[in-house]
């Protein structure tokens, strides 16, 4: 934001002003914050969807506006100069105030209408919540759901989302959090894979098999791999790795290797089988949001729907205790989950040709 007196002043007159005499642009200040948070120009540029040159121009402009350097560049990234430490603290306060303005606006909105942003891990978003959204939309026709699926935890304090579902417990003291349940993952494989390579009986047997792995934030795959196979390089051992839950699912179904799948996926009858080798990987499921967000009717409606969608009393695979997939039919009494994906493929036409 620039002073009213600056309006209409030619750029060359700005440049002729004394260093630090120009009110810093909020856009440039925000860019500075993102560079500091991400530790490098490239990461910040990706986050802001700017070219690196465009981002550097904003930082250069900010340094002209302030009259001193705000960042030093080194081989490991960037660091804040001593002169800019107070600028950084003030910028964080400005950002927090701007977010508070948005939250105040949302609290004042009387109706259950508008956009709601929900950040969620990729598998929960694609396979659990997205197919169920029709229920929520029919009950709330004036709400526009922005479902953001990624394995990176969203920053709800900075309004990246109104609420977030994640597998790591939030640590920010200003956040509200609700434990939704617990997710349990076990090794599984396609029948086509087992027919070729055989069925492992113990965790040690996995060293003789091909593995399909997902390496992403919140999965804990790296830690579990190092614990099970200490000192064994990934290359030449694992057959397939990805950062995407959907890609992992299809790789397992296609027979690429043995991979871990959450037990709720087994309730949808995928074309793979659970392996009883004594390995279960469990994570708590957390819902997190800013306390002010819950005062907004539209966000409150979203939070209630999320909590209901993960209710362990209704969906036994989200209970704290592990239930083997073969026992889930005796525990679950709702409609078949496979119906959530009804219509995913076309039936063959009268002449037997796939569409």
> pLDDT by residue (tens digit) across 190-239?
999 999 999 999 999 998 999 999 887 777 788 888 888 888 888 877 88
pLDDT of residue 188: 95
Q: What is the tens place of the pLDDT at every residue in 243-287?
A: 888 899 999 999 999 999 999 988 888 889 999 999 999 999 999
* Domains identified in the chain and CATH numbers: 13-105 (1.10.10.10), 113-338 (3.40.190.290)
Other CB atoms closer than 10 Å to residue 42's CB: what's the count?
13
Q: What are phi and psi of 277, to 5 degrees?
A: -125, 15
What percent of the chain lies above the pLDDT cut of 90?
Answer: 27
Among 104, 87, 103, 97, smallest CA distance to 25 is for 87
Long-range contacts formed by 156-161: CB under 8 A, 24+ apart:
156/119, 156/288, 156/289, 156/290, 156/293, 157/99, 157/290, 158/95, 158/99, 159/99, 159/102, 160/117, 160/119, 161/117, 161/118, 161/119
pTM beyond 0.85: the answer is no
| Cβ-based burial of 2 (10 A; exposed 0-12, middle 13-18, buried ≥19) | middle
**Banded pLDDT at 8 (limits 50, 70, 90):** very low
Q: What are phi and psi of 87, to 5 degrees?
A: -60, -40
State the sign of the Cα–Cα–Cα–Cα dihedral 207, 204, 262, 254: positive
pLDDT tops 80 at residue 139: yes
Query: Which H or E run includes 102?
Result: helix 85-108
For residues 300-312, give the mean pLDDT. Answer: 92
Mean pLDDT: which of 31-40, 248-257, 289-298 is highest? 248-257
């Amino acid at each position: 934001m620039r002073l009213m007196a600056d309006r209409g002043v030619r750029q060359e007159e700005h440049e002729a002003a004394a260093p630090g005499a120009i009110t810093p642009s909020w856009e440039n200040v925000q860019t500075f914050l993102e560079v500091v948070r991400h530790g490098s120009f490239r990461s910040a540029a990706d986050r802001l969807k700017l070219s690196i040159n465009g981002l550097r121009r904003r930082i250069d402009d900010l340094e002209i506006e302030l009259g001193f350097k705000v960042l030093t560049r080194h081989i490991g990234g960037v660091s804040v100069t001593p002169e800019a430490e107070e600028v950084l603290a003030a910028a964080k306060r400005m950002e927090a105030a701007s977010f508070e303005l948005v939250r105040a606006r949302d609290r004042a909105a009387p109706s259950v209408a508008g956009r709601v942003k929900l950040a969620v891990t990729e598998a929960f978003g694609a396979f659990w919540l997205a197919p169920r959204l029709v229920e929520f939309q029919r009950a709330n026709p004036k709400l526009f759901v922005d479902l953001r699926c990624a394995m990176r935890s969203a920053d709800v304090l900075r309004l990246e989302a109104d609420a977030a579902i994640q597998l790591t417990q939030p640590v920010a003291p200003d956040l509200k959090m609700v434990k939704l349940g617990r997710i349990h993952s076990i090794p599984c494989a396609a029948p086509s894979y087992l027919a070729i390579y055989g069925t492992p009986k113990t965790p040690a047997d996995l060293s003789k098999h091909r593995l399909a792995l997902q390496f992403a934030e919140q999965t804990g795959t790296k830690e579990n791999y190092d614990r099970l196979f200490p000192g064994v390089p990934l290359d030449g051992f694992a057959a397939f790795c990805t950062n995407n839950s959907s890609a992992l699912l299809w790789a397992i179904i296609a027979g690429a290797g043995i991979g871990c799948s959450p037990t709720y996926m087994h309730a949808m009858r995928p074309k793979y089988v659970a392996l009883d080798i004594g390995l279960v990987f469990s994570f708590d499921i957390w819902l997190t949001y800013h306390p002010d967000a819950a005062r907004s009717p539209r966000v409150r409606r979203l939070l209630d729907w999320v909590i209901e969608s993960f209710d362990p009393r209704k969906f036994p695979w989200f209970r704290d205790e592990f239930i083997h997939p073969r026992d889930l039919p005796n525990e679950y009494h709702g409609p078949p989950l496979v119906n959530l994906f009804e219509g995913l493929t076309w039936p063959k036409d009268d002449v037997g040709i796939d569409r």
